Structure 1
Amino acid sequence: MNISIVSSPSRDKSKIYYYLSWGRGAGQRKATGIFTFSKPKDQLQKNHNKEALAILEMKRSQMVLDRQSIASGYVPEYKLKSNFLDYYNEFVKANRRSTNRHLQNSMSAFKEFLGRDFISPGEINENLCERFRNYLLDNYNGETPSGYFTRFKKLIRAATKDGYFKNNPAEEIEAKTGKNKKIKEILSVEEYTKLMKAPCLNYEVKKAFIFSLYSGLRWAEVKKLQWESIKDDSITVVQSKTGNRLQIPLHPVLKEVIGERGSGLIFKLPTAEGANKVLSKWVKDCGIEKHITWHSARHSFSVLLQRNNVDVATVAGLLGHTTSKYVQQTYKRYIQNSAVEAIFTLPE
């Protein structure tokens, strides 16, 4: 197809605008948005004209390539992202779903794996894909490595169709489930009581941790919790991890913990590292020989509710999970871990 450059002067004749034309029929002319000065007055305008005409010729060449590649399966190189991370980002935006964060998280993990902000499509080969799969297995537990790599493979499959790869470099690499390195510790009912009765070096940390034990909220959510989030007998928060709005009934213990209503932040807390140090000493002073972190509160909340026969769907809802799958898997790990203890509760 012959594509020609057509010019048209402005009304005052000071500028010339350009179009790409491939016929005289309707819709066979496209404005380029490029113009030159009819009579350049200085070197600046002369330079503008020179660069504008160069860009114009490049646009014409690109359109010729586009027209010639129709139905050929060939993708002109200029259409491909030079940084594959840009393509990854656009793919995530186009396929994002609020109920599934694995695609977004797979991109974050891939960036961590690379340790840089640029990678060309030519560097994406089978060896790199396999190393990324192994990186996920080394750094994540449970279903997470499989979930992230499955989304990565979906991305690579789409990129192959879009012309980035002649052959899919990840096609024969299997997504694998990781092994749980260590089951996080949880607190028993008796240990809940011990902590509430025992003194703590930082009273704000104590109040906030008890709040997490009775609400299942994460550190990031408790840290920024404001009085306006407490209404009547419930807590309304936007989850830090998912962005979902969550409403949790307010346990009577929490009403005592937070005391009289104020304004602004409910808790005045140190950094996460500082809070965990205070928590560690508080737990140790109580005689609890477990490695308890702030996230242990959320796990304890989940497991103790289920041990009290609260159905999995309700627990999942309280935690803000969209499905009960993760809650069930987590609970099974704790039940298996306490199997020996359970056996020895039987009468002799």
Structure 2
Amino acid sequence: MKISLRTKKIKNGKFSLFIEFYKGHYIDKNGVNKYDRDFEYLKLYPLENPNTADEKRNNKEIYELAEKILSIRKAEFYQGKFKLKNDKKGQVTFMDYYTQLKEDRFETKANYGNWDAAQKHIERYCPPQKQLKDINTEFVKGFKRYLNTKAKTKSGTPLSQNSKYSYFNKFKAALREAYTENYLEENVLRSVKGFEQGESTREYLTYSELQAMTQAECKYPILKSAFIFSCLTGLRWSDIDKMKWSEVRDEDTGTRIIFRQKKTDGLEYLYVSEQSRKLLGERANESDRVFKGLKYGAVYNTEILRWCMKAGITKHITFHSARHTNAVLLLENGADIYTVSKRLGHKEIRTTEIYTKIIDEKMKEAANLIPELNLDIS
């Protein structure tokens, strides 16, 4: 492996410093030669052309710090390559190490909520003084048993299959990274199998049910508008709740919502229908929330269920069901799966493919292939 300090020119006359871990090259499945590289961005930004004495001194300090980090990364690599022992690393407690990994994800908005939820269960199982050097395979198996037999939700019920799957994966991810960074001398995960992921039910409304919802009374008009808007656009609660008028672009060719997803931090450009635009009402100040007064909590969740009952719907519908409704209605009305995936902001198309099970027309047809029987059941 070759470990080097690199620079990348960015805006405002600055460089971004990063470390490149070059591991050679390989031929991919299409026969193309590809470089095998990883990068660590240092969040250090020296000026391209420093002028004043202060700017030059600051640049010098930045580059010195970058060189020190580079030296540490090289030392860590050789430490692992030649199996040099580092007792100091092993003395870090697992909870301190896990917390740091979790906080790193807060900075990048990368699945922080799931890491935080998993930590609550890890803390109940793992003694606070447990050091990384003392972790072994039995400790890993013990946490799996804890999730399977002892762990409870806030309401005191056993964890769902998907919760066990998610929490154990975060636990394993932390140990995997600890091993990669030489905090662990052996791979304690090698012989431990994870949980199988359960297939969750995606509750949604049919077109006729959604039509019934539009006609039924809802105690909170702002909730009704936001929910139907989500059904028509597929936007998540978090993105609808924070939406400001500056994100709504009324253009000659139609209306677009240009926003950054709260969940993934991805920038999205979403066209919406004329009917969807009417649900937003009259334009206000650019800094104002579009759905002013919208709140999240038990009161609104309960009202959605009451509203459903008034519409004659007995399904357990939540606000997130509106997003599922949008996906199903789009696919049923001829939208291709790639377009639906892009509109929902999915990073992987396999996430969207789950909805194809719901609207599989061939399965519906197969249900009626057998001719009707002349039944006489007594």
Q: TM-score range by the shorter chain?
A: 0.5 to 0.7
Tell me the residue number matched to 1:159: 178
Report what 1:237 is aligned to. Answer: 259
Residue 234 of structure 2 is matched in structure 1 by 216
Opposite residue 276 of structure 2, the aligned amino acid is L
Aligned residue for 1:201?
219
1:160-200 deviation line (CA, Å, top 9, x unaligned): 354433432211012332223x5132100111111112221
**Cα 1:134/1:344, change in 2 over 3 Å:** farther
Secondary structure of the 2:222 match is helix
Letter in 2 for 1:169: V
SS in structure 2 at match of 1:231: strand
Alpha-carbon distance change, 201 to 146 in structure 1, aligned in 2, over 3 angstroms:
closer
Number of residue pairs matched by the alignment: 276
Q: Is the 8 A contact 2:338 2:349 kept in 1?
A: yes
Is 1:303 matched up with 2:311?
A: no
Cα distance 1:192–1:72, how it changes in 2: closer, same or farther (>3 A)?
A: closer
The CA distance in 1 between the partners of 2:289 and 2:304, in whole Å, is 20
Q: Alignment identity in percent?
A: 28
1:179 counterpart residue number: 198
Q: Does 1:74 align with 2:98?
A: no
Aligned partner of residue 320 in structure 2, secondary structure: helix
TM-score, normalized by length of structure 2? 0.61
Provide the rounded CA distance (Å) in 2 between the counterparts of 1:179 and 1:217.
Answer: 25
- Per the alignment, residue 343 of structure 1 pairs with 367
Q: How does 1:23-34 map to 2 (within 5 A)?
A: none
**CA shift in 2, pair 1:239/1:161, >3 Å:** closer
Structure 2 matches for 1:7-22, cutoff 5 A?
A: none
Shift of the alpha carbon at 1:299?
0.8
Match of 1:251 among 268, 273, 280: 273
Deviation at 1:328, TM superposition (A): 0.4
Partner of residue 270, structure 1: 295
In structure 1, the residue matched to 2:135 is 124
Q: Which residue of 2 aligns with 1:327?
A: 352
More displaced, 203-212 or 115-124? 115-124
Q: Which has the larger radius of gyration?
A: 1
Shift of 1:209: 0.5
Classify 1:286/1:208 alpha carbon distance in 2 versus 1 (closer, same or farther; 3 Å): same
Question: Do the aligned residues in 1 keep the contact of 2:89 with 2:183 (CA within 8 Å)?
Answer: no
Distance 1:215 1:342, change over 3 A: farther
- Structure 1 residues 287 and 134, CA gap change in structure 2 (3 angstroms): farther
- Residues 229 and 235 of structure 1 are in contact (CA less than 8 Å); yes or no, is this contact kept in structure 2? yes
> In the TM superposition, what whole-angstrom CA distance separates every residue of 1:20-63 from its partner, at most 9, and x where no partner exists?
xxxxxxxxxxxxxxxxxxxxxxxxxxxxxxxxxxxxxxxxxxxx
Query: What is the distance in 1 between the residues matched to 2:168 and 2:370?
Result: 44
- 1: distance between equivalents of 2:366 and 2:209? 18
Shift of 1:324: 0.5
Show the counterpart of 1:294: 319
In structure 2, the gaps of 5 or more residues are: 1-74, 149-157, 373-378
Task: Please tell me the residue identity of whatever aligns with 1:311.
Answer: D
Residue identity in the other structure for 1:82: V
Cα 1:213–1:77 change in 2 (3 A) is: same
Q: Structure 1: state its 5+ residue gaps.
A: 1-65
Aligned partner letter, 2:119 = K
For residue 327 of structure 1, report the CA deviation from its aligned partner: 0.9
CA distance, structure 2, for counterparts of residue 125 and residue 207 of structure 1:
53
**Structure 1 residue 88: Cα displacement:** 4.0
Matches within 5 A, 1:84-103: 84-88=94-98, 101=110
Matched, 1:114 2:114: no
Q: Secondary structure at the match of 2:204?
A: coil
Equivalent residue in structure 2 for 1:312, among 310, 316, 337: 337
Shift, 1:337, TM fit: 12
Tell me how far 1:130 sits from its aligned partner.
2.6
How far 1:208 moved relative to its partner?
0.7
Shift of the alpha carbon at 1:304?
1.6
- Residues 109 and 75 of structure 1: is their aligned pair in 2 closer, same or farther, counting only changes over 3 Å? farther
CA, structure 1 residues 282+197, in 2 after alignment: closer, same or farther (shift >3 Å)?
A: same
